[in-house]
């Protein structure tokens, strides 16, 4: 079964569309695990050297042309994706107009806020030599990356370091335009395998005399 694919876009000049916030989630839609930078690093100050925990969290925010499966009441089963051109527009508008750079939340729960500061964001130009590659990511040109400094030490220890939070997921309002029908399909149920399992159970029950 082919599913429709919708490109998500922003209008650079309106007040309605854009990415508003980057959430910290346990199952990122981009399927990219975050890199945790938490080593102590000595810093020279006026009178003494101190060790300061970084608590940096870096990951992909949007990957170009990646199909993301969705199922809702309006569109039913479908995919969404972003082009590299639209990713750049979304990133620019996020910093210039729509974005909350000093706050995040956990798993898109507005009541579960995370005290964090977005300290850098960039778009990958050369995947082989980009900073993302140095951090161990293998991502295509046009990917939007971000690094947060987690200000809440308790959240860092209880959520990030334990693996409860593994990546980023964006929140925003976008325009949708259908571009094609996808060859890809969501994971299909292997009915033949299920039928074999049912038959095996029935045969076992017959052998034990539990099924007439």
26-38 confidence digits (pLDDT tens): 888 886 666 655 4
Least confident of 46-50, 86-90, 150-154, 171-175: 46-50
Of the listed ranges 15-19, 43-47, 55-59, the one predicted with least confidence: 43-47
Q: So what's the pLDDT on residue 201? A: 54
Q: What are phi and psi of 193, to 5 degrees?
A: -65, -40
Question: Looking at residue 34, what is its pLDDT?
Answer: 63
For residue 116, being part of any structural domain is answered with yes
| 89 assigned to some structural domain | yes
Inside any domain, residue 76: yes
Rg (C-alpha) for the chain, rounded Å, is 22
Q: How many CB atoms lie within 10 A of CB 75?
A: 15
Q: Is residue 212 part of a domain?
A: no
Residue 49, domain member (yes or no): yes
Q: What is the mean pLDDT of residues 48-70?
A: 76
**Residues in the chain, overall count:** 212
The secondary structure of the chain in percent helix, strand, coil, rounded to multiples of 5, reads 20, 40, 40
Residue 93 forms part of a structural domain: yes
Asked if residue 210 has pLDDT above 60, the reply is: no
Whether the per-residue pLDDT at 161 is higher than 70: the answer is yes
Strand partners, 1: none
Q: Which of the two residues, 96 and 50, has the higher pLDDT score? A: 96
Look at residue 150 and tell me if it is in a domain. yes
Average pLDDT over residues 101-112: 91
Residue 117 pLDDT exceeds 50: yes
Q: Is residue 50 part of a domain?
A: yes
Q: Which domain holds residue 55?
A: 3-207
Is the pLDDT at 40 greater than 50, yes or no?
no
CA dist., res. 30 & res. 168, Å (int): 8
User: What would the pLDDT profile of 166-204 be if each residue is shown by its tens digit?
Assistant: 889 999 889 888 876 665 544 443 444 445 555 555 566
Counting the structural domains of the chain, the total is 1
Pairwise CA distance, residues 110 & 24, whole Å: 12
Per-residue pLDDT, averaged over 107-127, amounts to: 94
Between 199 and 59, name the one with better pLDDT.
Answer: 59
Q: Are 68 and 61 in contact (CB under 8 A)?
A: no
68-72 and 18-25 as β-strands: parallel, antiparallel, unpaired? unpaired
Contact predicate 58/33, CB 8 Å:
no
């Amino acid at each position: 079964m082919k599913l429709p694919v919708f490109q998500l876009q922003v209008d650079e000049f309106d007040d309605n569309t854009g990415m508003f916030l980057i959430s910290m989630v346990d199952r990122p839609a981009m399927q990219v695990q975050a890199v945790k930078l938490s080593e102590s690093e000595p810093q020279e100050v006026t009178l003494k050297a101190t060790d300061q925990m970084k608590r940096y969290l870096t990951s992909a925010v949007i990957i170009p042309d990646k199909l993301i499966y969705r199922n809702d009441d309006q569109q039913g089963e479908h995919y969404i994706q972003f082009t590299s051109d639209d990713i750049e527009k979304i990133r620019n508008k996020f910093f210039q107009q729509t974005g909350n750079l000093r706050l995040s939340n956990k798993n898109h729960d507005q009541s579960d806020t995370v005290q964090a500061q977005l300290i850098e964001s960039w778009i990958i130009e050369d995947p082989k030599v980009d900073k993302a590659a140095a951090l161990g990511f293998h991502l295509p040109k046009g990917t939007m990356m971000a690094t947060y400094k987690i200000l809440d030490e308790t959240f860092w220890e209880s959520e990030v370091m334990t693996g409860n939070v593994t990546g980023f997921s964006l929140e925003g309002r976008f325009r949708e335009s259908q571009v094609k029908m996808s060859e890809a399909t969501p994971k299909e149920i292997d009915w033949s395998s299920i039928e074999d399992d049912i038959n095996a159970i029935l045969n076992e029950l017959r052998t034990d005399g539990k099924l007439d």
